[in-house]
Amino acid sequence: MSRSSVGDRLLSLLAAIARHGAPVPVKVLAKSTGQPLSTVYRNLAALRRWGLVSEIGPDAGYGPGPASIQLAWGFDTTSHLMSVARPELLRLADRTKESLALMAPVAGHAMCLDMVESSQSLRCSYAKGRSLPLVRGASAKALLAFLPEADREAIIAAHLDAASTEAARLRKSLATIRRQGYAESEGEIDAGVWGTSAPVFATRGAVAGAISLMAPAFRIERSHDALIRMIAQAAARVSKRLQSTH
C-alpha cells in the first residue's frame, strides 16, 4: 500500500467522524469509507494515539478527539477567508436581520465555516461545522457550480445516478448559476426556507467558499432581488480582498 493511500484512508475516517455529528459505530465507518473492518480498527488506533478521535464507550463508536479542539481553534484564528468574510457576515446580518453563513467545499460537501444567526425565528439546517452534500440547496450549488468540471461530475456521480433526469436537471441548474453568478433555492433543505448564495473566489478563479443567506420564504417574498444583490456584492468584496492579498 502506498504512503498516500494510507494517508487517504486515515483522513477519510477522520472526515466521516467529523461529518457524522454523533458517535459513529465501526461498522458504519467501514461501510461509509469502503475500508475493511481490520483496516478501520488499525487506522482508528493511529488516530487515537494522536488524540484526533476518541472511543465513546465500548459499543457506541468513535467521535472527534481532544486534538480536534486545537485544529478548530487554529483554523478560526488563522484562516484568512474567515477573517475577511466575518465583517461582511455581521454587516449583512445587521442590514437584513436574517441568518448568514460562510460555506466552503470540503470533500464533496458544503461545510459551514461561520454563522451569524438571525434574531428572528428561523429553523436552519446549517450550524458552524455542519456539512451537507454538494447537490442540494443554494449554498451547495453555488459551490458545486464553480468547481472544475471533473470534480463536479465526480460529486454528482457520488450522490446521484449520473445518467438520471435528476442529474441532468442539476447540471442545467449549475450552468444557470455560473451564468448569473448566484444560486437560490426554496425548500430543498428545510420546508419553507428560502436561501441565496454567491461564490467567493481566491486567486486564479478557484472557488474558496460562498456567502449564504437563509430566511423563511414568507418573510422575504418581496425582497428576493434586493437580498440576492446584497449577497452577490458581499461575495465580490470578499473575493477582491482575498485576491489582493496574494
CATH code assigned at 165: 3.30.450.40
Predicted pLDDT of residue 70: 72
Domain that holds residue 237: 79-244
In a domain, 74, yes or no: no
In a domain, 185, yes or no: yes
Backbone φ and ψ of 215, nearest 5°: -160, 155
Say yes or no: 163 and 231 in one domain: yes
Say yes or no: 61 and 90 in one domain: no
CB 39 within 8 A of CB 51: no
CATH number of the domain at 57, please.
1.10.10.10
Predicted pLDDT of residue 124: 61
In a domain, 107, yes or no: yes
Predicted pLDDT of residue 161: 92
User: What percentage of residues in the chain have a pLDDT greater than 70?
Assistant: 92
Please report, for residues 118, 156, 192, the alpha-carbon distance to residue 12 in angstroms, rounded to integers and kept in the order given: 34, 19, 34
Whole-angstrom Cα distance, residue 230 to residue 100? 12
Predicted pLDDT of residue 146: 96
Note the pTM of the prediction, 2 decimals. 0.77
Say yes or no: 63 and 88 in one domain: no
Predicted pLDDT of residue 189: 87
The size of the chain, in residues, is 246
List of the chain residues with pLDDT < 50: 1-4
How many domains in the chain?
2
Say yes or no: 11 and 105 in one domain: no
